[in-house]
Amino acid sequence: MLSEDPTKRTLADLGVTDAIQLAFRFTELRAQLQRDLKRAKESGEWDMLRETWIGSPDSVKSRITTNWLRTAPPGLQPAVARDLENLINEVFILSTVMRSLDQLGTAQADQVAAQFLKLQQVFDTEIEECVDEIDLGVSRTFWLGRSSGVLTHITDSWLKTASPQLKRVVGAEFNKLKTHVESKIEERRTAIEAGAEEASLAREGVDLSLPGVIRPVGSHHLIRQVLQEVEDIFFSIGFSVVEGPEIETPYYNFEALNIPEFHPVRDDMDTFYLQLPKGAPEPLLLRTHTSPMQIRTMEKRQPPVRVIVPGKVYRRDNPDATHSFIFHQVEGLAVDTDITFCDFTGTIEYFVKQFFGPGVKTRFRPSYFPFTEPSVEFDVSCIFCGGSGTAAGGGNCSKCKGAGWIELFGAGMVDPAVYGFVNYDAKKVSGFAFGMGIDRLAMLKYGIDDIQVFFQNDVRFLRQFP
Ligand code: PHE
Cα-to-centroid distance, 117 and ligand 1 (Å): 97
pLDDT tops 60 at residue 427 = yes
Structure confidence at residue 1 (pLDDT)? 43
Pick the residue whose CA is nearest to atom 7 on ligand 1. Answer: 435
Query: Hey, which bits of 337-384 come out as E strands?
Result: 362-369, 372-381
**pLDDT digits 0-9 by tens, 166-211:** 889 999 999 999 999 999 999 999 988 888 878 777 777 777 788 8
- pLDDT confidence band for 333 (50 / 70 / 90): very high
Structure confidence at residue 331 (pLDDT)? 97
- pLDDT confidence band for 329 (50 / 70 / 90): very high
User: How far apart, in Å, are the Cα atoms of 284 and each of 247, 255, 271, 275?
Assistant: 7, 13, 10, 8
Provide the CA 323 distance to its chain's centre, in angstroms: 40
- pLDDT confidence band for 2 (50 / 70 / 90): very low
Q: How far apart are CA 111 and CA 346, in angstroms?
A: 108
Alpha helices in 98-163 (DSSP H): 101-104, 109-128, 133-144, 150-153
Cα-to-centroid distance, 386 and ligand 1 (Å): 27
Query: Hey, which bits of 137-245 come out as E strands?
Result: 240-241
**pLDDT digits 0-9 by tens, 110-127:** 999 999 999 999 999 889
What are the two backbone dihedrals, phi and then psi, of residue 108, each rounded to the nearest 5 degrees? -110, 155
Q: Is the CB of 291 under 6 A from ligand 1?
A: yes
How does 10-26 read in b/e, with b if 16+ C-beta sit within 10 Å? ebeeeebeeeeebeebb
Q: How far apart are CA 223 and CA 419, in angstroms?
A: 32
**pLDDT digits 0-9 by tens, 453-464:** 999 988 889 888
Structure confidence at residue 399 (pLDDT)? 80
Q: How far apart are CA 410 and CA 268, in angstroms?
A: 14
Pick the residue whose CA is nearest to atom 2 on ligand 1. Answer: 435
Structure confidence at residue 454 (pLDDT)? 93
Q: How far apart are CA 113 and CA 268, in angstroms?
A: 106
DSSP-derived secondary structure for 197-261: HHHHHHHHT--TTSPPPPPPP----HHHHHHHHHHHHHHTTT-EE----SEE-HHHHTGGGT--T
Structure confidence at residue 233 (pLDDT)? 97
Residue 374 CB coordination number (10 Å): 14
Q: Is the CB of 174 under 6 A from ligand 1?
A: no
Cα-to-centroid distance, 289 and ligand 1 (Å): 7
Cα-to-centroid distance, 360 and ligand 1 (Å): 22
Q: Is the CB of 41 under 6 A from ligand 1?
A: no
Q: How large is the average pLDDT for residues 36-63?
A: 90
- Determine the Cα angle at 331 with ends 328 and 334, to 5°: 170
